[in-house]
Amino acid sequence: MRIAYFLLNHDIKKNDGVVLKVKTQIEEWRSYGHIVKVFCFVTEEGESVLEAKQYPINPVKRYISTNLFLQKEFIEDLIHFNPDMVYFRYGVWNVTLEYLLNRYKSVVEINTYDLGEFLLLFKRQKTVKSALRYLAYRFLRSKILNKVAGIITVTEELAMHTSTIKYNKPKIYIPNNINLDEFKIIKDAGSFNKRIGLFFIGTPKQAWHGVDIIKKMAEHLPEFDFHIVGDEGNSDKNLFYHGYLPRDIYTAVLKKCHICIGSLALHRKGMREACPLKTREYLAYGYPVITGYKDSAFFEKEPDFILNIQDDILSGNINYAKVKNFIENNAKRVVKHEETEYFISSKILEKKRVIFFEMLILSNI
C-alpha cells in the first residue's frame, strides 16, 4: 500500500510531540512493508527528524496563498507518488485539501474536540470576529468530513461524539502511542533525599491544561514542589515556572521530580476522555501521573500508577488528602515499560490503524 501523509502548516523543525508521533507512525507502517511519504506545508524550511517534502508558504500571505489557491507543486508531487491512501491530521479547510479529497481515498485523524476549542475561544473573546470564525469553521469542517473515506479518533468519546457520528463514516478510535524503544526510564528510585517534586509541561494560554488548578494544588500541598514547563508565571514558594524549554533541558527538570501531572481541565472544551502524548512520555520515562480525565488507553480499569481526579475537579472539591496520599505512596515508584507496553506502544496500536486502512482500500467507500 502506498500512503501519503499530509501535514498542513506545521513547524516540523521544532521536532515537537506531533512530529515525533508522525515519525513513529510512518516507521511502524513501513515496518509492515508499506510505502509512505510525508508532505508538509511549512512557513519556513528546515531540518527535522521527520523525513518530509516541505512546501514553504509565505507567512504574511499564508491565509490567501494556502487556503484559496491550489498548491500546484504539492499536487504534482502527490500525483507522481500515486498513493492508494491519503492520511491527514484534521486541519482547516483549503482548496488544496478539497482537491485531494475529491481525487483520493482519504482518512482523517481527529485528535481533539476542535469545535469545543473554537467555542471556548469565542466565549473568551466575545467578539463579532470570533463568532464569525466559529461559524465558518463549523461549515468548512463539514466540507472535509463529508468527503473522507474514514475517520480515526484518539478516544472513544470523540468517535461517539455527535459531531463525528453524524457523518456516518467508517470509524475507529486508536489512542496516541509512542515507540517505547526510543525512551529510557530516567526516574531514579534511589534519589529521594529531597523534597518531593511534581512536573507539568504544556502550552501557554490553553485553559484546558488547568494550570490554575495546579496553582491551587500547590497552595494546599505546601510540602511538595510544583514545576511548570511551557507556561509563564511568577514563581512563588513551592511553585516554579520554567517557561519554554527544549527537550534536553526540560528532562533535566523532570529528573528532579517524582510525580507528573497531565491536563486537568479538559472539561472546559467539552471533553472527559483523552490520551495526550505528554502523558505517554511521562509513563515511558517511568513516572506515575495525576490526570483530570479518563485515559482512553486503559479500557477497563486505570492502573494504580495513575490518579484520575476528574470527578473532584468537576465537583469543585478536590480531595487533597487523596492527592497527597497518592504522591507519597508513588514518589519512589518507577513505572516499568512492561507495565505500559500493551496500552501505549506503537508496535501494538499502529497495527490496528493499518488494518483499518486495508479495510477501506478493499471497500467501495
Round to whole Å and give the CA distance between 122 and 132: 9
Task: Indicate whether 132 and 269 sit together in one domain.
Answer: no
Task: Indicate whether 97 and 110 sit together in one domain.
Answer: yes
Task: Indicate whether 19 and 148 sit together in one domain.
Answer: yes
Amino acid 58 reads: N
**What sections of the chain are H helices per DSSP?**
17-31, 62, 72-81, 95-103, 114-125, 128-145, 156-159, 162-165, 211-220, 247-254, 277-284, 310-315, 320-330, 337-344, 346-362
CA angle 40, 42, 47 (to 5 degrees): 85
Round to whole Å and give the CA distance between 239 and 225: 6
Across residues 111-132, what is the average pLDDT? Answer: 71
Q: How confident is the model at residue 251 (pLDDT cuts 50, 70, 90)?
A: very high
Task: Indicate whether 240 and 150 sit together in one domain.
Answer: no
pLDDT computed for residue 192 by the predictor: 63
CA angle 227, 118, 298 (to 5 degrees): 55
pLDDT in tens, 290-338: 999 999 988 778 899 999 999 999 999 999 999 999 999 999 999 999 9
φ, ψ dihedrals at 348, nearest 5°? -95, -50
Pairing of strands 85-89, 2-7: parallel
- Give which of 364, 314, 354, 360 is closest to 34, Cα–Cα: 354
Across residues 280-297, what is the average pLDDT? Answer: 95
pLDDT computed for residue 135 by the predictor: 73
pLDDT in tens, 54-66: 998 865 555 566 6
pLDDT computed for residue 142 by the predictor: 86
pLDDT computed for residue 203 by the predictor: 87
Choose the weakest-confidence range: 68-72, 95-99, 129-133, 199-203: 129-133
Choose the weakest-confidence range: 172-181, 185-194, 322-331: 185-194
Task: Indicate whether 220 and 333 sit together in one domain.
Answer: yes
Q: Contact 261/290 with Cβ under 8 angstroms?
A: yes
Q: The C-alpha cell of 126 is what?
A: 466575545
For helices 337-344 and 346-362, angle between their N-to-C axes, nearest 10 degrees: 10
Task: Indicate whether 11 and 91 sit together in one domain.
Answer: yes
pLDDT computed for residue 127 by the predictor: 78
Task: Indicate whether 147 and 206 sit together in one domain.
Answer: no
pLDDT computed for residue 365 by the predictor: 61
pLDDT computed for residue 138 by the predictor: 74
Residues in the chain: 365
Pairing of strands 259-261, 289-291: parallel
pLDDT computed for residue 214 by the predictor: 97
pLDDT computed for residue 343 by the predictor: 92
Task: Indicate whether 168 and 123 sit together in one domain.
Answer: yes
Task: Indicate whether 167 and 292 sit together in one domain.
Answer: no
Q: The C-alpha cell of 317 is what?
A: 472539591
Q: Is the pLDDT higher at 205 or at 211? A: 211
Q: Is the pLDDT higher at 203 or at 325? A: 325
Locate cell 504544556: which residue? 202
| CATH number for the domain harbouring residue 185 | 3.40.50.2000
Task: Indicate whether 13 and 69 sit together in one domain.
Answer: yes
Which range marks the domain in which residue 257 is found? 180-343
Where residue 237 falls (left for φ over 0; alpha for ψ -120 to 50; beta otherwise) is left
Across residues 44-53, what is the average pLDDT? Answer: 93
Task: Indicate whether 126 and 195 sit together in one domain.
Answer: no
Across residues 157-182, what is the average pLDDT? Answer: 93
Choose the weakest-confidence range: 26-40, 110-124, 246-260, 316-330: 110-124
* Overall number of domains in the chain: 2
pLDDT for 196 beyond 90: yes
Task: Indicate whether 157 and 200 sit together in one domain.
Answer: no
pLDDT computed for residue 150 by the predictor: 97
Across residues 192-211, what is the average pLDDT? Answer: 88
**% of the chain surpassing 70 pLDDT:** 91
